[in-house]
Structure 1
Amino acid sequence: VAAQAVGEALAGPVGEALARGAAEVRLGGEPAEAWRRLASIPGAGALARLLERADESGVPAAGPVARLAADTRADWGRKATERARRAAVMVTAPVGLCFLPAFIAVGVLPVVIGLADGLLGGGGG
């Protein structure tokens, strides 16, 4: 009943598959068959296996679903951190190329002009 309510509250293919699978199990369908549609959705396989085991064994699925959700959120966080670190490395070269002309114009060029002026006798000293 809870899986069907959650499925009806969710939008998209996961919600539809969750509501339909729960309805099939409630009406006496085989859990493996009922949750197969949910398992075919990318990223929902672990949830489908968990719900299938819970239906077959009679154990409440709330605790394992909460652990699965926490593990999934932690995994998403790790992947986001990985992508952010990669992005920081990838941005280094373009930023360096943008600052290089400014550094040459402001830092190196005046020194070269000053040295050239002094060596060519234009210093007047």
Structure 2
Amino acid sequence: MVAPIAGGRAVRRRLAAVRPAPSASSSPSDAERRTRILVAAAAGLAVAWFVGTWWGLLLGVAAGAGAERFLRQREPARVRQERRAAAADLPLGADLLAAALRAGAPVDGAAAAVADALDGPLGTRLRRTARSLALGAAPAEAWAHLDGIPGAERLIAAAVRTSASGGALAGALGRLADDLRADRAVRIEAAAQRAGVLIVLPLGLCFLPAFLLAGLVPVLIAVLGDVL
């Protein structure tokens, strides 16, 4: 009984080394922290100056604290960009994983090969997944490295559900890649339609005064001239 326990502890220590440190991906950098403090201080000073009375200082302190808290709760731009880049590579990553599995590669080897091919944020997460699987982690724990990527929850569910069969996982990943591309095409089309609507609004605001001046105003002047 001692050897399995010791081996389990060794595996857990290795898995802990695979897991990224929280400060590496989600915590703000020193520059972002300084920028947040400066923006909050500027907001507090602006409120205090605008009020211009002694109790304006209290409002300024409250406004600065509120601005700092709001900015602190926002997701760092670096993390947001990495997540978007990973989401953009996810359909290709799913296709490559499916191809590697169909070629006979084990799941951890396929994940490592795709990680080397893709690199970037998605490649980094897949590399951690491959190392976790190679060290004997449970599928749910290993594929949890992809958490937070839009659309990856379906990949994680498929990987956990079909963990006993690489062929079944390959088929699920192929269908997932097609679904992700279709969803992306729908989002792009919706964004294009929304942009068309937003473009029409300023054009309407520009033409409306001209229509009033050139069309309605002369008619009103003629009617009022006849009446008066």
Task: Give the TM-score normalised by structure 2.
Answer: 0.42
Question: Which of the residues 156, 168, 172 maps onto 1:48?
Answer: 156
C-alpha distance in structure 2 between counterparts of 1:41 and 1:92, whole Å: 34
Q: Is the 8 A contact 1:36 1:48 kept in 2?
A: yes
Deviation at 1:72, TM superposition (A): 0.8
Question: Which of the residues 87, 94, 104 maps onto 2:195?
Answer: 87
Question: Which of the residues 10, 19, 44 maps onto 2:118?
Answer: 10
C-alpha distance in structure 2 between counterparts of 1:39 and 1:79, whole Å: 21
| Cα deviation digits, residues 1-32 of structure 1 (max 9, x gap) | 22211122223332212122123223433212
| Cα deviation digits, residues 27-74 of structure 1 (max 9, x gap) | 433212211122344432211222222323443422221211110111
Asked if 1:29 is matched to 2:137, the reply is yes
* Partner SS for 1:61: helix
Deviation at 1:84, TM superposition (A): 1.9
Aligned length: 120
C-alpha distance in structure 1 between counterparts of 2:200 and 2:149, whole Å: 37
Q: 2:131 is matched by which residue type in structure 1?
A: A
C-alpha distance in structure 2 between counterparts of 1:13 and 1:48, whole Å: 16
Identity of aligned residues (%): 47
For structure 1, the 5+ residue unaligned runs are 116-125
Task: Give the TM-score normalised by structure 1.
Answer: 0.69
Deviation at 1:107, TM superposition (A): 6.0
Q: Is the 8 A contact 2:151 2:180 kept in 1?
A: no
Task: Name the residue aligned to 1:61.
Answer: 169
C-alpha distance in structure 1 between counterparts of 2:204 and 2:148, whole Å: 45
Deviation at 1:102, TM superposition (A): 4.2
| Cα deviation digits, residues 70-90 of structure 1 (max 9, x gap) | 101111111222222222223
Higher helix fraction (1 or 2): 2
Deviation at 1:92, TM superposition (A): 2.1
- RMSD, aligned CA: 3.0
For structure 2, the 5+ residue unaligned runs are 1-108, 224-228
